[in-house]
Chains A and B, each alone.
Chain A
Amino acid sequence: MTFSLNMAFSDLLLLLPEIFLTCWLCVVLIVDFALPRLPKERLAYLSIAGLVITLGCLGWFDLNHVSGTLFGNMFVLDRMAIFFKVLILSATILVILASIEYVNRFTLFRGEYYCLVVMAALGMMFMASANDLLSVFVSLEFATLGFYVLVSYLRDDVASNEGGLKFFILGVFAAGLLAYGISLVYGETGKLVFSEMASAQPTPGLIIGFLLIFAALGFKIGAVPFHSWIPDTYHGAPTPVTTFLSIAPKGAAFAILLRIFLVALGTFKPLWVSLLVAVSILSMTYANIVAIAQRNIKRLLAYSGIAQVGNVLIGLAAGTKMGSDAILFYLLAYLFANIGAFAVVIAVSQAIGRDEIEDYRGLSRRSPFLAFAMLLFLLSLAGVPPLAGFIGKLYIFVAAIKEGLYTLIAVGLINIVISMYYYLIVVKQMYINEPLDPSPIAISGPMKAVIYVGLAGTLVIGIYPQPFTDWVVSATLMFANFVGPSVTVIPLGPSLGG
């Protein structure tokens, strides 16, 4: 393998969003340093401006079908990478908006908080574009580095420190597994780029190597049995960081998983289907059952997130073009519902100062808007029509039933009912129980904006999904070549051919 850096200037165009965001990050840092008296929310809006410009740049790429690879195939910019980058940037913008009020709780380093969030986003953007095992390792660690700091940002809070430590130790352990797996795979095949591995033979070393890589990525997405850090870390971390942690790294890790399973391992599909089926069943069932016993809303949402990952893995187990469409669609629906739900949690905890489910007693009397928003977000997570989560779940089930994964679908359907129970427990507290303290809850402007975006996304995707399904179908067109003859019929409008 040779690395050549003699590239044309136009090639750097592919890196434009990342380069721009890096520069912007430095600008934010300098502004924070140079103008110490500047109100910190200005920094938040400054970061958001940079993220929005980056988002616009990606949108321009998508419309003009800019794509290509860089650095000897290490970095790829295709429509799927653009999709995930848009997902990550949207999540980052919403998280920063939701943090503005919360940041006042931090005693120190309020300005650096935004830089760290943007830095983590930058790392995840590289994850979405990672096209070989080395760039997977580097970008994954880069992204996680920011999170290690962010999780333990509440310096005086024991839970935050505990969560950060757990996250750090297990994260480093996962990094070790990943590096070991990569070395095994490289030793067996001599290749690092995914698309070149497709012709490899399944030797024991290679299988163990990929199992280790899967385990490391399993830590990132929080699939059972690699989930043990999730509840404590989610519980302890500052809630906006939990929000960020619950969606963006999962999305980026799924981009890598899709590339590994559908591109590098496309030919070994019979070998890995049963592995994914097992992990998916375990994640859904375990998380949903344990979630019933939770008393803290953040822990409840943490377990619900593990269960959602189990659902997404159904789509990966289908291992088809349609399965990957369904994953992208599901993540999109999950983004809005999950960020919305966490935004409500932040708003309530700003007013009450606690995150127990009991504290949601009579929320519909104290703030009808928050209660209604939370109701829709939770129902979307549960998969109730006409909300986005329902279409996402159905999309995944349809993709899986075409591959004949009946057991997995049956388990997934049963889990919908189990999850309905604990989501409705929260609904019961909000709507049926009377509040102990009927004083109304005030919501800040940025928080309202986040909740409105979440509501709009949840409802629009649920009621009119066609544009979004078109988008995800065109974003994963490249998998049609790798995954045998796809059973999916892809009717594409002329404007969407990519």
Chain B
Amino acid sequence: MGEYTLLYILFAPFAGALALIFISNRQPLLVRSVAATAAFVSLLASLYLFYAYDPVKGGFQFVQKYEWSTQLGISLHLGVDGIGTPLVLASSILLFAGIFVSWHIKDRTKEFYIWLLILAAATIGVFMSLDLFFLYFFYEMSVIPMYLLLGMWGSHTKKYLEMTDPEGLKLRDSVGFILNFGSNSKEYAAMKLVLFLSAFAVVALMGILLIYKYSGLNTFDILVLREQSNLMNIPVLGTTLDKIIWVLVFFGFASIAPLWPLHSWSPVGHAAAPAATSMLHAGVLMKLGHFSIIRVAFEILPETTRELMPIAAVLCMFSIIYGGFVAFYAKDTKYVIGYSSSSHMGYVFLGMAALNYISLSGAVIYMFAHAMATGMLFAMAGWVYDQTHTRDIPSLGGLSNKMPFISVCFVVGCMASIGMPGTVNFIAEIMIIVGSWDKYPLQVIVAMLGIVLTLAYLFKMMRGLFYGPMNQKYSHAHDAISTVDRLPLLIMIAISIGFGIFPMHLYDVVRSGVDPLVARITRVVPVAQTGDGLGGGSAEMSPEPTGVASVAANKVLRPSSEVSGRGRE
């Protein structure tokens, strides 16, 4: 372990995928065990990483750097800060859980696990890249496995066109409907996902190439580039270059987040994907967007971020409300959860837009918390689908008799999604709301409304699935009885509640990553925007120019903000 932890986390799934190539599909148990072992190694290493990360020291830890191409100025530069660490942990938890969730896949088991492992490893790679090239490399690498996972093991969306309410409330996904041409197939979903994400990824790549050119340093290293942001402040096309780059990077990465109006690929993709893929997709793949925006736009262009982040504050309102309403009217379990995810990602954008310690920490914790909550919901929707082969909520009902364990877990999952006290989602939500209130009161009210909506559609779905009269067609459905089936849900519930009750270490880790970043972004404005005393530390932080948090600054800051942060809870 020790300094090579990141390599274990990143390469264990790759090694697992490589090993699987040489195993025959006729030994499904061996295939599953190899995949599970690879994921378990990765999980153990990332648990170690999470607890060995020193929040007092802060900055990038476990740094690994290998020259990769001197001509292009690329090095395999890995390292995690307080923002990357919890997301790496979330990815490996979801990978481990996802392997057990898909334990019963019969068709081409080996190939399924190979692509699942590559998908997870690529996502993990993004969270630990400190080099723009490798960030993009892993980002783009995660897209193709999605295509194959959706296309080969996904399911068609028969009910897509009936998403409207019979009373005439036409709340279809407009963009998706226009581009849909009446096709509800998984092929369509997979192709749409890949083309959408690639199209916006190349937009981000254009931004990255511009950063590379104008820094003039012949390097893609984020830690070097972030000291050179002033070089990009040159007028061009009636605005300044840094703004153009920022817009390219922001919208390029926001598509995967997915920010309204770039979201239309996401619910379609969720619905078509097999359960484990949906979990990874909603749990961590979406967070690649927020994370990459933080890593590229926030780190390299802090001043532009301060100027332009209100864009996100405006769009996130639409994300929250639009996603919430569509989820309320959707009749397909996975659509509900998919739209709920894209609605919830609006909270993260709100937390990022407010740009202070509390709200940004809340956003990062929310990413972690949402990964667990939505992972649970997708796992259970997947279970219900496996048992009944339908995702149509009106035709289901009364399943709690048949599957008591699943329905109890579902209640917990709903609670976590809504943000009940006792789950880590509560802490995150309250931090986002408290932190953003001062700067964006309207958005906070919208977010509150979003929480009410979440409550409404999740309870509606819960009632539709588990209570009420039972459809006799599904009387053969049975509960998750074996350990293999229960384990993933129990892990995610334990993490969600565990961190909800003992959030201190998670909070410290996240703060150690967020503090220097916010200090860099707000340093030109001496008085921080957080007037309610929560961000009182920012004035002390501002003379910290290097961006790497010094131990002293952290110590000054932590107690005061922690008291106030905790006071709100």
User: A interface vs B, CB < 8 Å?
Assistant: 322, 325, 364, 368, 379, 384-386, 390-391, 394-395, 397-398, 401-402, 404, 409-410, 413-414, 416-417, 420-421, 424, 427-428, 431-432, 464-466, 469-470, 473, 488-491
Contact = CB atoms under 8 A, between A and B. Distances in A.
B207 to A, nearest CB: 11
Given A385-B140, A473-B71, A420 B213 contact: no
A364 B110 CA distance: 13
Contact of B71 (A409, A424, A432, A469): A469
Given A424-B194, A428-B187, A401 B141 contact: no
Given A413-B205, A431-B152, A490-B71, A386 B195 contact: no
A401 B140 contact: no
B58 to A, nearest CB: 31
B401 to A, nearest CB: 37
A488 B71 contact: yes
A409 B206 contact: yes
Given A385-B137, A420-B198, A432-B152, A413 B206 contact: yes
A431 B198 contact: no
B218 A417 contact: no
A332 to B, nearest CB: 14
B205 A401 contact: no
Which 7 pairs between the two chains have the least Cβ-Cβ distance? A413-B202, A432-B151, A385-B137, A469-B71, A417-B199, A401-B209, A401-B213
24 contacts: A322-B71, A379-B144, A384-B140, A384-B144, A385-B137, A385-B140, A386-B141, A394-B133, A398-B212, A401-B209, A402-B213, A404-B213, A414-B202, A420-B194, A424-B194, A428-B190, A428-B191, A432-B186, A465-B68, A466-B68, A466-B70, A470-B71, A489-B218, A491-B70
Contacts of B206: 409-410, 413
A394 B69 CA distance: 12
B169 interface: no
A306 B398 CA distance: 59
A368 B141 CA distance: 21
B72 interface: yes
Interface in B147-172: 147-148, 151-152
Classify the interface of chain A: helix, strand, loop or mixed. Answer: helix
Given A384-B144, A401-B209, A424-B191, 15 more contacts: A364-B108, A368-B111, A384-B141, A385-B141, A391-B69, A395-B72, A409-B206, A414-B199, A421-B191, A428-B151, A432-B187, A465-B68, A469-B70, A469-B71, A470-B71
B262 interface: no
Interface of B: 67-72, 108, 111, 133, 136-138, 140-141, 143-144, 147-148, 151-152, 186-187, 190-191, 194-195, 198-199, 202-203, 205-206, 209-210, 212-213, 218
A356 B191 CA distance: 21
B437 to A, nearest CB: 40
Nearest to A395: B72
Contact of A469 (B69, B141, B148): B69
B147 A325 contact: no
B202 A416 contact: yes
A98 to B, nearest CB: 24
Nearest to B68: A466
Nearest to A425: B191
Nearest to A371: B111
A386 B137 contact: yes
A395 B188 CA distance: 32
Contacts of A401: 209-210, 212-213
A404 B133 CA distance: 19
Nearest to A466: B69
B195 A421 contact: yes
A491 to B, nearest CB: 5
B140 A398 contact: no
B202 to A, nearest CB: 4
A420 B144 CA distance: 10
Which of B67, B136, B140, B186 counts the most A-chain CB atoms under 10 A from its CB?
B140
A402 B210 CA distance: 9
Contacts of A473: 71
A417 B141 contact: no
Contacts of A489: 218
Contacts of B210: 401
A40 to B, nearest CB: 35
B202 A417 contact: yes
A395 B133 CA distance: 11
Contacts of B68: 464-466
B11 to A, nearest CB: 12
A237 B203 CA distance: 39
Contacts of B140: 384-385, 390
Nearest to B118: A386
Contact of B148 (A410, A431, A488, A490): A431
B202 A465 contact: no
Contacts of A413: 202-203, 205-206
Contacts of B186: 432
A377 to B, nearest CB: 13
A416 B205 CA distance: 12
A466 B69 CA distance: 5
B546 to A, nearest CB: 26
Given A385-B137, A410-B206, A431-B148, A417 B195 contact: yes
Nearest to A462: B137
Which of A394, A421, A469 counts the most B-chain CB atoms under 10 A from its CB?
A394
A414 B199 CA distance: 7
B394 to A, nearest CB: 29
A325 B195 CA distance: 30
Nearest to A329: B71
A473 B70 CA distance: 11
A403 to B, nearest CB: 9
Contacts of B191: 421, 424, 428
Contacts of A386: 137, 141
